[in-house]
Amino acid sequence: MSDFAHVHETPPPGAAADWTIPQDWDRYTPQEHDTWVRLYERQMKVLPGRACDAFMQGLDALDLHGGGIPDLEKLNKALEALTGWRVVCVPGLVPDEVFFEHLANRRFPAGQFIRRPDQLDYIQEPDIFHDVFGHVPMLTDTVFADYMAAYGRGGLRALGLGQLHNLARLYWYTVEFGLMQTPNGVRIYGAGIVSSATESVFALEDGSPNRLGFDMLRVMRTPYRIDDFQQAYFVIPGFEQLLRETLEDFAPAYERLKALPDLEIDEITGEDTVIHRGDQAYAKAGGRFAV
């Protein structure tokens, strides 16, 4: 998303005006397919019982299993029939406006490339594994699919209003790093978590991060980490509630936010619903940069 350095300002050579490029599925090497398989198999060891039902069902519905990098032409047939969404390839990060325009029109922009074998554990720029394995199963859920399209429209609006820094936090703490309360316990739905073997465990089970009840305005005041595990996760009661709250006009919230200071990344306020009060031990020890 928007917090990484943009590699390009205008569509690079070979890309269309909307920044899309062909997937060129035939050109992935056996080693690249193997990278997908290894990442997929790792996730399958941690996700059952941790990822929400909608995610696991989405994998099935799209037949997103261990056979290698998916051919998006085939995947799109199944996805379009379910929720009207399609996946398009882009060369890397695209400008915010281009990104939102795609989402608003039910096109999910996915990186065409896959990470190198030495980057299995961590990459900062989203690749096709993060984008397709992490995000696309959720787009088979009708309510979540509507939320993502609404977010695209809201992003274009927030850009115009100069409030994207606030709205981006909503994306981060839901679409990328969201947790959900279910009858069987807290489950993961955020793409940044489900595409990471280590964060899938950390987000749910580690004592370090705070786990707080989701509150729209609160989330929009909370900074986030782009370089390490989150210090706070927000737990939604379900997708219907999330969609209902976000369909409200954000203009009054944006006005209030102009007068409200940001919170500290690890802060817990008197108004928070505390599901787990983290000790922040991981962050205090230096996180992934600890020696």
Using CB under 5 A as the criterion, which residues of the chain lie in contact with Fe ion when the complex forms? 126, 191
The answer to whether residue 154 forms part of the interface with ligand PHE (CB under 6 A) is yes
Interface residue with ligand PHE among 107, 135, 157, 169 (CB under 6 A) is: 157
216 touches 253 (CB < 8 A): yes
Alpha-helical segments (H) within 26-104? 30-46, 53-61, 72-83, 96-104
Question: Does residue number 247 form part of the binding site for ligand PHE (CB under 6 A)?
Answer: yes
Quote the CA–CA distance of 12 and 252 in Å, as a whole number. Answer: 38
Instruction: Look up residue 72 and give its two tokens.
Output: 């998006």
Type of residue numbered 265: I
Q: Exactly one of 151, 173, 189, 282 binds ligand PHE (CB under 6 A); which one?
A: 151
Place of tokens 């609404």: 150
Candidates 248, 255, 264, 271: give the one binding ligand PHE (CB under 6 A).
248
Complex with ligand PHE: residue 94 or 170, whichever CB lies closer: 170
Q: What is the DSSP string of 221-235?
A: T----SSSS-SEEEE
Rama region for 178: left / alpha / beta (φ>0; ψ in -120 to 50; rest): beta
User: In the bound complex, which residue of the shown chain has the CB atom lying closest to ligand PHE?
Assistant: 154
Q: Minimal distance in Å, beta carbon 252 to ligand PHE?
A: 9
Does 249 sit near ligand PHE (CB under 6 A)? Answer: yes
For Fe ion, the closer CB: 191 or 242: 191
Of 227 and 240, which has the nearer Cβ to ligand PHE?
A: 240
Minimum gap (Å) between residue 208 Cβ and ligand PHE: 29
CB proximity list for 117: less than 8 A, separation 6 or greater: 31, 35
| Least distance (Å) between residue 175 CB and ligand PHE | 9
Of 100, 239, 250, 282, which lies in the binding site for ligand PHE, with binding defined by CB under 6 A? 250
Smaller CB distance to ligand PHE: residue 154 or 209?
Answer: 154
Query: To the nearest whole angstrom, how small is the minimum distance from the Cβ of residue 171 to Fe ion?
Result: 9
Q: CA-to-CA distance for 136 and 204, rounded, in angstroms? A: 21
281 binding partner (options Fe ion, ligand PHE, none; Cβ < 5 to 8 Å by kind): none
In this chain, which stretch among 108-116, 218-226, 245-253, 255-263 interacts with ligand PHE, using CB under 6 A?
Answer: 245-253
- Given a contact cutoff of 8 angstroms between Cβ atoms, the answer to whether 145 and 240 are in contact is no
User: CA angle, 219 as apex, 143 and 121 as ends, to 5°?
Assistant: 80
Distance from the first to the final alpha carbon of the chain: 29
Footprint on this chain of ligand PHE (rule: CB under 6 A): 150-151, 154, 157, 170, 246-250
